[in-house]
Each structure stands twice: as C-alpha cells, then as structure tokens.
Chain A
C-alpha cells in the first residue's frame, strides 16, 4: 500500500507536465536523434547541413535573434572553421554609422547577431499574409514535443480532410494545433539546397538536418551539459556509496 502510494507519487510528479499536451493536435512520433540519451552529442556534419537549410529556406521568413554568427564556430555547435564563420557573416549587410555619423551599412562580423528577414513585426506580418513567423532561437524548447514536433510539422503537410473548412491562405497540418497553419510547406521538394558533403538533399534529410540545427540553437550548451552531467553523476554516486558505507560502519554498534 505504502509502496504503491510512493510509486503513484513519483509517477504523478513525472507525468504532470505530460498531462497538459496541446489539445487536438496529432501527437508527433518519436524520432531517433543523434543527441538522444545520456551520452548523445550532436552530429557536426548534420548541424552544418541544418544551418544551410535554415539559411536557404527558413531565414526568408524566420529570424534567430539570440544567435550571433560567432556561435556557428562555437565548440559543441556546427563548429564551422573561423574563416567560414567570417565569410558567412560577411554575406550580410547590417546597419551601421559612417564616419559622419550618418546611417550606413557594413558587412556583418562574427560578433553581430543573425540578421533577421524583417525590420519589425508590422513588416513581418505585412509580408506574411498577416501571420507573424516566430523567431526560431529557442523554438525547440518552446514547443511541446521539441525536436520530434518540429520534424513532424515540417514533414506533416497533407491535403485537408474533405469536411474541413480552411481559412484563406491557410495550410493543413495535423501536427499543428487546430490543423491550420499559415506557413506553407517549407520543404516541399527535394534538392532545395546542395550539401557540400555530398549527402542527398531529400525532403526528409533536410527536415532532419534543420531540426538538429534548431535543437542546437535552442540548447547550445547541450554537449557541455551532458558531458559534465556524466562526471557529476558518477562522482555523486561514488560519494553516496562512501557515505553509505560510513553510515553502516558508524551505526554498526548502535542498536537502533
């Protein structure tokens, strides 16, 4: 009885966040990800490919204002070489001031934030049929289901069921709450990008790669966190063991 109650306690503690899943949307299937599990780390090549997909496809509408170009070279991330990071940054023009203090533009440096596609929210909505494309900096942490959800959403576009009335300019996606999403299928055909490493850019491959990239962007310290976590857990476990033996030794002669 007591054990049962205890088990219920621990289960309900763990189940509480799960119980508030988003209403009517289809639940995303679990995918195998390279960073799954205690020892899981990112696949460097996948992050680099994912960045290319973001840059070519997503960045047309979605900003990532918490990231700087330098982050692309950070340890635990895509780890582009320094030259490549500089070259990527230099491909963007950012606002600046000239020698006379007048507004001007200059090529971005690795220290600059990712340049967004729209100057402000009104412009973003105007360009997108009234919808606001969310910033993708923390998108994987901000959606129930995380990476599985992002992948399911990207690959889940279908024709709307016959009995469903779609709003003007809306697209059917069973994984999106309500089923109607303003974003058109972003990865609608193969070969939207050409991968430098020769990987074939199928729709599925691009969706997986960009999901990996977005996961890193949401949790750029994931690798550092897991690596340190393994050490901390191992230490704490041994420490607990030592304390337990000390406890047994100490209490051996005390009737209690």
Chain B
C-alpha cells in the first residue's frame, strides 16, 4: 500500500549510500512521505504518544539505574536517596513512576480505538497480535518495576503475583521457587526482577519495530474502516501527521506533567513508602490501577487455578479477536449494534477496575436479613426459654448482624461474565445478525460529502 511514491536520491553521496545502505530511502518512504489516510482523528495519535512514552521510560530508567541499588536492605533507601541527593533525581523518579501510569492510559485508549474502528481485522491481524504481545510485555515490565522500590506494596504485590504460578498443578511450587530464586520473595527475587526490568523494555522496543513494520505493509486503518483507494485519499505522514501527533503529544504531556510536578504520588499507593516487611501483611494488597480489572477477574473466581486461568484468558482472548469477529465491516461507525456493545464493554472494563480497588466484601446493596440464619437463632433462643420482648430483641439483633448483600465480588462476577461474553458471544454474533450502514465508496468521497471544509469531517458516530 506504500503507494506509487518512490524515493529518488538527489546527489552523489545519497546515490552512493542508497546502493550500499538504503537507510535514507527507508526514512523517506516509511516516515517522511509515508502515505497516510487523510481522515485520521485524534484517537489515532496515541501510537505516537506511546512511542514517546517508551522513550521517556527507557531514558529515565537508564538514569535511575545508575543510582539505584537492587538489594533488599538498600533498595528502599537508594530510591529515597535518588529523590533527595541526586540532581533532579526526584524528577527522573517521578517521571518514571508516573510515566508508567501514563503509558497505560495511552495504551488502553490505543487498544479501545483499535476495537472501535476494527483495526484488528484483515489484513491487520499480525499488527494486532504484535500489539497484544507489547501489552503483555508492558504488564510484565510494570509489575517487575513496581517491586524495585521494595516498599510494602512492592513486596506483597510480588508475593501475590508470583503465587499465581503456584496454582499450576504438580509443578506450581517448583516454578514459583524458580521464579523467586529462593523459597520466598527475597533478595534474589529483587535482583532478578531488576535485571529483567532492565531487559524487557528493549524487547518491547524490538516488538514495537515489528508492530510499525506490520502497520506499514497494509497501511493505517482509519475511522471509516475502508481501504485507501489512491493518492487522493492520503497525505504524507510528514508534515501532516508529525504536526498533528505533535500537538496531541503536547496536550498529553500537560496531563503527564501535572502529575509529575503537582501530584506525583496520586496514582501510587501510600503503603509503598513503608519499607518492605515480610512479617507484616498490609490491610489491603492492591495492585497499581492499571491491573485492577484483571485483579477483579481473578478474585471473582473462588477457585485459585480457575481464577488465574480466567485472568490470563482475559488477555489471551485478544489474540483470537481477529477471527472471533464475523463482520466484514471494520468501523463501528457503520455498525449500530456493535457500537452499543462496544460502549457497554468500555463500562464493563471500568466497572471491573472499580471492583478491583474494593475489598471483596464491600457492600453495594443491602438485600435484607438472611432469614434462615435469623430463624435458627430465634429458634435456639426459644429453646432457651427466651420470650416476649427479649425474644424480639434477639430477633432484631440477629437481623442486624446477618444480612445478605450484593457485594463487590458479586458485581465482579457479573462483569467478568460480561467481559468474556463480549468477545465470545457478542462479537461473533453481532457480525452475523447486524445490518451495517452503507459504506462510502472512498475516503475522499466521504470527506467531500461533508463539504470538504477545513472542519474535520467525520461520519456520524466516528467522532467520539
């Protein structure tokens, strides 16, 4: 799809270089003059934002690693020393810790955008799968990084997450000890987590290159979800999208910098400023906000192994999405039923996030007393010859103390079912039963139909 455009070296040096290492040809054809649909909206700027965030995390991380000490007795103090005594160390550390959150905000928007506009469908399945791999690597990296300050949440988060693997039948314990490098989460765990935390971002960078490669073969999807028909549908990536992405990046940075400079610990957990103590379990062990939906899915299953399977399944189902979707229309703008299912799915994910932050017995609705338990208590009191007002008092107390409630776990279960139902039932089914709206014949035709003014023209429903 790279179009008819071909790079022509203009002078002796570039001609010489082009026949030896055509690097400038690649930059010219794949970046500067890469034909990009002219109707991309702001939801399409998050790829650029994510690339920037990866760079920010790697650069600040390299600087932090120069001053950090991965040792159970020294790690906590070394992080605080970075914040106190290293020049601009506080900035590096807050950029890095808040950067992780911003990275996830951006990746979630990027993924929801892909879901909405059908960017995972043929011929972009490999692009999508590489994206899911990047997301998994990001989760691993974020988890490993969160253990490094060796605060209470670092330690107990690491304990909870590594214990997932102990649910595997027969070899679970052996695998867990292999991961720990010990018989419990301790210094050897911290040191290997640091090593892997330094490694994985470069693996991510590698997969990002593949992701962009896989993007540049079919070219960008777009809010209409229809293929590019020719040069009239596209503009050169530079300067049109470098400037538009640049503007979006600057706005995103404003949000990022607000947290870094004015509310740097807001997205974290206060317990992580208490040094790790294997003898004291925090009242509530909660993961960072970006893992909360998965934590809710895990906790909604009573069986540990099933919970772990379902939690990993909630991500692995994304790998099959291109083949679960039976609709040939990509963009939700032309899919009235799917569009509603999509927004319900967004709410389900947010709801799971909320559930993940609550204690499992958090009461949402009171459903009245447990009548059978109350009756048992009253019967027992009667047998003990309690009568009259005293009996009524027993009943009232029993009713107050034994109540049924619709709690966070109940909501979590409903939302977990809805989460999987979206992928396994709604998406395959809607594609079959839905009558999509008529697609425009080309991007430029749709644009001109909207007057071709300087106002960004979008089909109904495509803007969000």
- Contact of B155 with A by CB under 8 A: no
**Contacts A141-B265, A229-B260, A250-B243; is A16 near B353 (CB within 8 Å)?**
yes
Q: Is A184 an interface residue (CB 8 A)?
A: no
C-alpha gap A16/B105 in the complex (Å): 13
- Tally of contacts, chain A with chain B, CB under 8 A: 134
Chain A residues with Cβ below 8 Å from B274 are: 134, 142
Q: Which of A220-246 contact B (CB under 8 A)?
A: 220-221, 224-226, 228-230, 232-233, 236-237, 239-240, 243-244, 246
Known A240-B251, A255-B457: A12·B354 in contact at CB below 8 Å? yes
- A-binding segment of B283-291, B397-405, B420-428: B283-291
What 1/0 flags go to B154-183 for Cβ under 8 Å of A?
Answer: 000000000000000000000000000000
- Interface residues of chain A: helix, strand, loop or mixed (majority): helix
Contacts A16-B357, A240-B254; is A228 near B261 (CB within 8 Å)? yes
- Interface with B: A17-25, A89-97, A186-194, which one? A17-25
In the assembled complex, B239 has its CB within 8 A of some CB on chain A: yes
Least CB distance from A116 to B in Å reads 14
CB of A16 within 8 A of CB of B289, answer yes
**Given B260, B286, B456, which contacts A256 in the complex, CB threshold below 8 Å?**
B456
Pair A236/B80 contact, Cβ less than 8 Å: no
A177 to B283, Cβ gap below 8 A?
Answer: yes
Please give, as numbers and ranges, the residues of chain B lying within 8 Å of A8 by CB-CB distance: 347, 350
Closest residue of chain A to B89 (Cβ to Cβ) is: A221
* CB neighbours of B244 from chain A (8 A): 247, 251
Q: For B283, what are the chain A residues with a Cβ–Cβ distance below 8 Å?
A: 22-23, 177
Contact assessment for B258 and A233 in the assembled complex, using a CB-CB cutoff below 8 Å: yes
Q: Check B464–A6 contact: CB distance below 8 A.
A: yes
- The segment from B384-392, B433-441, B444-452 found at the interface with A is B444-452
A138 contacts which chain B residues (CB < 8 A)? 80, 273
Q: Binary interface profile of B, 68-110, with partner A (CB < 8 Å = 1, else 0)?
A: 0000000001001101100000110010000000000100000
A137 within 8 A of B: yes
Task: Evaluate whether A141 and B273 lie within 8 angstroms (CB atoms) in the complex, with A5-B346, A66-B77 already known.
Answer: yes
From A15, A20, A243, A256, B447 is in contact (CB under 8 Å) with A256
Cβ–Cβ contact A221 & B90, under 8 A: yes
With A8-B350, A229-B260 known as contacts, the answer to whether A20 contacts B286 (CB < 8 A) is yes
A23 to B80, CA, bound (A): 28
Chain A residue numbers with a CB within 8 Å of B343 are 1-2, 5
Q: Does B125 interact with chain A (Cβ within 8 Å)?
A: no
Question: Judging by beta carbons under 8 Å apart, are B262 and A38 in contact?
Answer: yes
B residues in contact (CB < 8 Å) with A: 38-39, 77, 80-81, 83-84, 90-91, 94, 105, 235, 239-240, 243-244, 246-247, 250-251, 253-254, 257-258, 260-262, 264-271, 273-274, 283-284, 286, 289, 292, 343, 346-347, 350, 353-354, 357-359, 444, 447-448, 452-454, 456-457, 464
Could you tell me which A residues sit within 8 Å of B by CB distance? 1-2, 5-6, 8-9, 12-17, 19-20, 22-23, 38, 66, 71, 134, 137-138, 141-144, 146, 177, 218, 220-221, 224-226, 228-230, 232-233, 236-237, 239-240, 243-244, 246-248, 250-252, 254-256
A-B contact pairs, 8 of them (CB 8 A): A9-B350, A15-B354, A19-B354, A19-B358, A141-B265, A146-B270, A228-B261, A246-B247
